[in-house]
């Protein structure tokens, strides 16, 4: 790591709170990758209840045995069984 990123991770030239907020934000970025349990798109869409206007979310098959058969990418990112693609399974 170089520059400001390195400083924030070490807590140098910023407060501890700023460094912790940055680390929390950065840790959350891992879920931008697909989940290893996310299957192919079903061809269906669901309305987004929290989006402004009329937004339709693509529906995917969920291959995890403890979850519903289908999900959206947004629902998947909140799932406790989410595991990064190409990583060991999380349950």
Q: Tell me the residue range of the domain where 39 lies.
A: 33-78
| Shared-domain flag, residues 6 and 20 | yes
| Shared-domain flag, residues 5 and 38 | no
pLDDT at 17 exceeding the cut of 60: yes
User: How many structural domains comprise the chain?
Assistant: 2
pLDDT at 8 exceeding the cut of 60: no
* CA distance linking residue 24 with residue 31, whole number of Å: 12
18 within a domain of the structure (yes/no): yes
| Whether the Cβ atoms of residue 46 and residue 72 lie closer than 8 Å to each other | yes
pLDDT in tens, 55-76: 899 999 999 999 889 999 888 8
| Shared-domain flag, residues 28 and 44 | no
Q: Which residue has the tokens 């840790």?
A: 27
90 within a domain of the structure (yes/no): no
Query: Which of 78, 67, 81, 69 is closest to 28 using CA atoms?
Result: 78
> What DSSP string describes the chain?
--HHHHHHHHTTTS-HHHHHHHHHHHHHGGGGSPBTTEEEEEEEEEE-SSSSSS-EEEEEEE--TTS-SEEEHHHHHH-TT--BTTS----
Quote the pTM value.
0.59
| Shared-domain flag, residues 21 and 54 | no
Q: Which residue has the tokens 């406790």?
A: 80
86 within a domain of the structure (yes/no): no
């Amino acid at each position: 790591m170089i520059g400001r990123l390195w400083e924030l991770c070490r807590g140098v030239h910023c407060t501890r709170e700023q460094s912790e907020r940055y680390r929390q934000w950065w840790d959350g970025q891992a879920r931008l990758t697909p989940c290893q349990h996310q299957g192919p798109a079903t061809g269906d869409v669901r309305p987004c209840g929290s989006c402004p206007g009329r937004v339709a979310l693509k529906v995917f098959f969920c291959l995890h045995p403890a979850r519903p058969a289908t999900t959206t990418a947004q629902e998947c990112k909140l799932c406790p069984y989410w595991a990064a693609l190409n990583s060991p399974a999380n349950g």
